[in-house]
Amino acid sequence: QVQLVESGGGLVQPGGSLRLSCAVSGSIFSANAMDWYRQAPGKQRELVASITSGGSTSYADSVKGRFTISRDNAKNTVYLQMNSLKPEDTAVYYCHAVLLLRPGVALRHYWGQGIQVTVSS
């Protein structure tokens, strides 16, 4: 019933921008950490950016200064603003979240289906 719904991917030229969104669908008590991962062809999946429930953020060195992660706790949604995109940013981007479905229940990890981002001229 609970799932992560991603949107905002697509094709963009080098130097362009995209904004990814990931919303929790279904009823939950709270969302703890929310993150964006990516996996390029022939490479391991890597953590791109993360944000805590309190708003603390962290980024991979490769995207610092170009990407910004944010969240709207009222909407249980996390965003990834991607600026100055490079061809090496091309990958499938996955939303990840640690969710608490109800008080007293163990935290559970959820993954989005993945959304394609292609940076090419």
pLDDT tens profile 79-103: 999 999 999 999 999 999 999 999 9
- pLDDT exceeds 90 at position 105: no
Average pLDDT over residues 62-87: 96
26-62 pLDDT, tens digit per residue, is 999 999 999 999 999 999 999 999 999 999 999 999 9
SS (H, E, C) the chain: CCEEEEECCEEECCCCCEEEEEEEECCCCEEEEEEEEEECCCCCCEEEEEECCCCCEEECCCCCCCEEEEEECCCCEEEEEECCCCHHHCEEEEEEEEEECCCCCCCEEEECCCEEEEECC
Q: Which of residues 57 and 107 earns the better pLDDT score? A: 57
Say whether pLDDT at 115 is over 90: yes
